[in-house]
Structure 1
Amino acid sequence: MRDSLMGKDANDYDVTTNALPVEIAECFKDHTCLDFGMKHGTITVIMEEKVEITTFRIDSEYKDNRHPDSVSFTDSLFEDTCRRDFTINAIAYSPKEGYIDHHNGISDIKNKVIRTVGDAEERFSEDALRILRALRFASVLGFDIEESTEKAIRTLKHLLNNISAERIFTEFTKLLCGKNAKYVLEEFHEVFEVFIPELVPMIGFEQNNPHHIYDVYKHTCVSLGAIEAEPILRWVMFLHDTGKPHCYTEDEKGGHFYGHYKISSDIAKKVLKRLKASNSFTDEVSTLVYHHDSVIPTTEKSVRRLIFKIGYPRARLLFKINRADALAQAPGQIEQRLERISELERLAVKINGQNECFHLNKLKINGNDLLALGLPRNKIIGKILNKLLEEVVDKSLENEREALIKRALELKDIL
């Protein structure tokens, strides 16, 4: 009901009833019913879409801070809503009675407040993921967190250690993509330090550099807020400077972070692997973090080399990252930096539209051609092909068969 009351389309519908699971299944016997949630009173009915129908229930203790040890059924909607996490999620609707709001959730929606149902410490102790869910709702909806709810979040943050990495990654990714993520990340960093301790050295770490006006963590949050709400991009901005505190040096010109891109990339891999992100997601984020600080001259040759190295799609993402990074730095040179990034984007679009050769499969000779020239069947074949491709990308060699063969014969005596 929350989304409906906020004028949004609902992603799904959850139905709750005093009917027992067996009665629900009997009622929908002409439809496919999935009963894998039967022990918790939930039947999933397949109609035009999946609809979860759950019997009013009361949860017992949550000894593992994740799941109730057992449930018992009740015929009271009020008792059922008392087990819900937040007041904004405890609103029911009946065609006969309209909205049924036992916990003043409608008022909290109007006032943009996140508040637990009942005692906050009890709710978070039942399922510690609710701590992250509260912060996620604050980020995504732009709501404030009620005082006692906030206090319980800070007090019980350690319970997140009992939650699986997969659940934390999913919830935290949604949080990162919220419109209010910058504020939530700044205000509740100690909560996120529980599962990403790599944040600790960043907090308050001054950069002492004329290009920066924020400490490392503040810069991270501001830059994240400056990029579109897409998971890969938000994770890149969140992790792109994690290596800075580990490579800080200072001279008469101020603070420097030489090589921080590599340390940050390594930390990104470590964090995402620990949170059980997919290999492809981890690779994409860590690669973009690695290249985020690259200085790319505004020439076709330089942009062509970049596309050759990381591919056109990644290059486009990298320019978005560069722009967000610049927007979180000292204001003096922002306009100049943004103009430079726009020129790099223009060159990349132009080069991509020319259908140039950036891959071995577009090279006009292949390994079989080199074997036919009498070259041995060993690693030299791959080395020559890669060198030919590199020279084609640099425009120092034409992607024409005769020119490639001639150059290959020269390279066999060099490589």
Structure 2
Amino acid sequence: MIIKKLPVEFERARVIMQQIEAAGFEAYFVGGSVRDTISGNLIHDVDIASSAYPEEIKKIFTHTVDTGIDHGTVMVLDHGEGYEVTTFRTESGYQDFRRPDSVTFVRSLSEDLKRRDFTINALAMRENGEVIDLFNGLKDLKNGVIRAVGTPQQRFHEDALRMMRAARFASQLDFKIESKTMAGIEANAPLLAKIAVERTRVELEKLFLGQNPADGIEVFVTTGLFKYCPMLAPFEADLRQLATLSEWNLSLSTEVWALLSYTFYFQNKQIGQFLRAWKTSNQVINDTVQIVRAVTEILEEEQSPMMLFQTGRDRLVSANKIALLFGGELQTNDILAHYDALPIKNKSELKIDGKQLLQETELQPGPQLGTILMQLEQAVVNGTIDNQHGLLIEAARKMAKEG
């Protein structure tokens, strides 16, 4: 198979390949970019594999960076672009089920490709567009099949995260996992506990953001992978329920965590515990809390001004995506219209601040000042006080007098 029209990302990199070949070595595009090009999908990173050893690559090119020299990777810099070139290699001794104990550089493309995870990712392509398929990856790509290269047991012992990648590809590509590969995942699922939670989190997020999340979730649950993820073991029934949902439209990782938190009926403190176990950022935790609160009100067809104000436009869009999954009937544009009608959209729009209150009232620094500012904000948002400086000063004095 020859791809006659290459994406521009490959076209730019061809000069690198040609220079490597001119020096007497082999060079191929490899990995997901080849798979996605054949499938007609957008490509991301362009990876190059070569028979040239790192020191040989550094002799060919003037400008290089040792980005992963121990594993054979050198970045070649060309006209402001960086291209990672990795030497063909074999790996052995995966005692921690995620990293090889030793890496050996080789000159053989087949030796390099046979250590890759799935046949659809073990495709290589010459700079002229000729595809090299040593493991029937083209057939599996055509038929929508995810199949481990060689023995599933060996592939998953080399890197247990590959099991999560299989579930993710089932969702992302809308492919089916071949029976032996599926059995291999089920048999080796406990190994996932040995993988850093950050790596597992990335795959789980991509699974939920794929074009067919229901199938990915089904694999995730049926194989038992979920049992070896932070705080998910008790929620098999809830996860299975998610696998029955349709009309998925999630696009942000925060939406994934809000969906899970809402599904598990987590409240604020529980959401924090859950997301910290997955090592998300504090910002993701805060966003998730707000989105879950909004989902509840939207599904109950309540849109209090304070909920709209505290959630904000972007998080309201996310919240309604989740509400729609659970049968919500409100249109996002209608919700945003209510948001746009709020007197103020953030604290900075309030026509009073703490400094002005101290200058123009008898209030003193302390908790009461903060409480009154919060009450003024709520009153403006709820429409009980107009957002006018004089009215706010008058209301603040009355609040202070009433204690």
TM class by shorter chain equals 0.7 to 0.9
Q: Matched residues, percent identical?
A: 32
Counterparts of 1:263-274 in structure 2, within 5 Å, are 265-274=268-277
Supply the distance in 2 between the matched residues of 1:223 and 1:136 (Cα, whole angstroms). Answer: 17
Supply the distance in 1 between the matched residues of 2:206 and 2:39 (Cα, whole angstroms). Answer: 19
For residue 48 of structure 2, what is the aligned residue in structure 1?
15
Cα drift, residue 191 of structure 1: 0.9
Asked if residue 233 in structure 1 is aligned to residue 255 in structure 2, the reply is yes
State the one-letter code of the partner of 1:364.
Answer: K
For residue 6 of structure 1, what is the aligned residue in structure 2?
39
Match of 2:124 among 83, 92, 112: 92
For residue 375 of structure 1, what is the aligned residue in structure 2?
363
For residue 85 of structure 2, what is the aligned residue in structure 1?
53
Supply the distance in 2 between the matched residues of 1:227 and 1:36 (Cα, whole angstroms). Answer: 36
Superposed CA deviations along residues 307-340 of structure 1, whole A, max 9, x for unmatched, are: 23333332333233222221xxxxxxxxxx51xx
Counterparts of 1:8-407 in structure 2, within 5 Å, are 8-29=41-62, 31=63, 33-47=64-78, 48-95=80-127, 98-189=130-221, 190-200=224-234, 202-204=235-237, 216-223=238-245, 226-243=248-265, 261-262=266-267, 265-294=268-297, 302-326=303-327, 337-338=328-329, 341-342=330-331, 345-346=333-334, 348-352=336-340, 354=341, 356-372=343-359, 373-407=361-395
Confirm or deny: 8 A CA contact 1:303 1:347 kept in the other structure.
no
Supply the distance in 1 between the matched residues of 2:259 and 2:47 (Cα, whole angstroms). Answer: 35
Supply the distance in 2 between the matched residues of 1:159 and 1:276 (Cα, whole angstroms). Answer: 19
State the one-letter code of the partner of 1:220.
Answer: L
- Going from structure 1 to structure 2, the CA distance change for 1:346 and 1:161 (only over 3 Å counts) comes to same
**Which is worse superposed, 361-370 or 186-195?**
361-370
Confirm or deny: 8 A CA contact 2:344 2:381 kept in the other structure.
yes
SS at match of 2:401: coil
Superposed CA deviations along residues 62-112 of structure 1, whole A, max 9, x for unmatched, are: 111111111122221111111111111111122479221111111110111
**Which is worse superposed, 149-158 or 272-281?**
272-281
State the one-letter code of the partner of 1:387.
Answer: Q
- Going from structure 1 to structure 2, the CA distance change for 1:182 and 1:12 (only over 3 Å counts) comes to same
Cα drift, residue 219 of structure 1: 3.3
- Going from structure 1 to structure 2, the CA distance change for 1:378 and 1:278 (only over 3 Å counts) comes to closer
Q: TM-score, normalised by structure 2?
A: 0.83
Cα drift, residue 125 of structure 1: 0.2
Structure 1 stretches lacking a partner, 5+ long: 205-215, 244-260, 327-336
Confirm or deny: 8 A CA contact 1:185 1:221 kept in the other structure.
yes
State the one-letter code of the partner of 1:376.
Answer: Q
Q: TM-score, normalised by structure 1?
A: 0.81
Please, what is the CA RMSD of the aligned residues? Answer: 2.4
Supply the distance in 1 between the matched residues of 2:354 and 2:129 (Cα, whole angstroms). Answer: 75
Supply the distance in 2 between the matched residues of 1:150 and 1:297 (Cα, whole angstroms). Answer: 40
Supply the distance in 2 between the matched residues of 1:101 and 1:295 (Cα, whole angstroms). Answer: 51
State the one-letter code of the partner of 1:236.
Answer: A
Supply the distance in 2 between the matched residues of 1:50 and 1:170 (Cα, whole angstroms). Answer: 24
Supply the distance in 2 between the matched residues of 1:187 and 1:296 (Cα, whole angstroms). Answer: 29
Supply the distance in 2 between the matched residues of 1:312 and 1:10 (Cα, whole angstroms). Answer: 31
Cα drift, residue 297 of structure 1: 7.5
SS at match of 1:188: helix
State the one-letter code of the partner of 2:42.
Answer: D
Cα drift, residue 345 of structure 1: 4.5
Asked if residue 414 in structure 1 is aligned to residue 385 in structure 2, the reply is no
Structure 2 stretches lacking a partner, 5+ long: 1-33
Cα drift, residue 224 of structure 1: 7.3
Confirm or deny: 8 A CA contact 2:217 2:240 kept in the other structure.
no
State the one-letter code of the partner of 2:193.
Answer: N
**Which is worse superposed, 289-298 or 305-314?**
289-298
Cα drift, residue 59 of structure 1: 1.2
Supply the distance in 2 between the matched residues of 1:221 and 1:97 (Cα, whole angstroms). Answer: 39
- Going from structure 1 to structure 2, the CA distance change for 1:230 and 1:36 (only over 3 Å counts) comes to closer
Supply the distance in 1 between the matched residues of 2:299 and 2:343 (Cα, whole angstroms). Answer: 19
Supply the distance in 1 between the matched residues of 2:269 and 2:355 (Cα, whole angstroms). Answer: 38
Supply the distance in 2 between the matched residues of 1:345 and 1:142 (Cα, whole angstroms). Answer: 30
Cα drift, residue 411 of structure 1: 1.0
Superposed CA deviations along residues 106-132 of structure 1, whole A, max 9, x for unmatched, are: 111011111111111001001111111
- Going from structure 1 to structure 2, the CA distance change for 1:284 and 1:126 (only over 3 Å counts) comes to same
Supply the distance in 1 between the matched residues of 2:263 and 2:342 (Cα, whole angstroms). Answer: 35
Cα drift, residue 39 of structure 1: 1.6
Cα drift, residue 184 of structure 1: 2.0
Aligned length: 366
Confirm or deny: 8 A CA contact 1:296 1:303 kept in the other structure.
no
- Going from structure 1 to structure 2, the CA distance change for 1:414 and 1:162 (only over 3 Å counts) comes to same
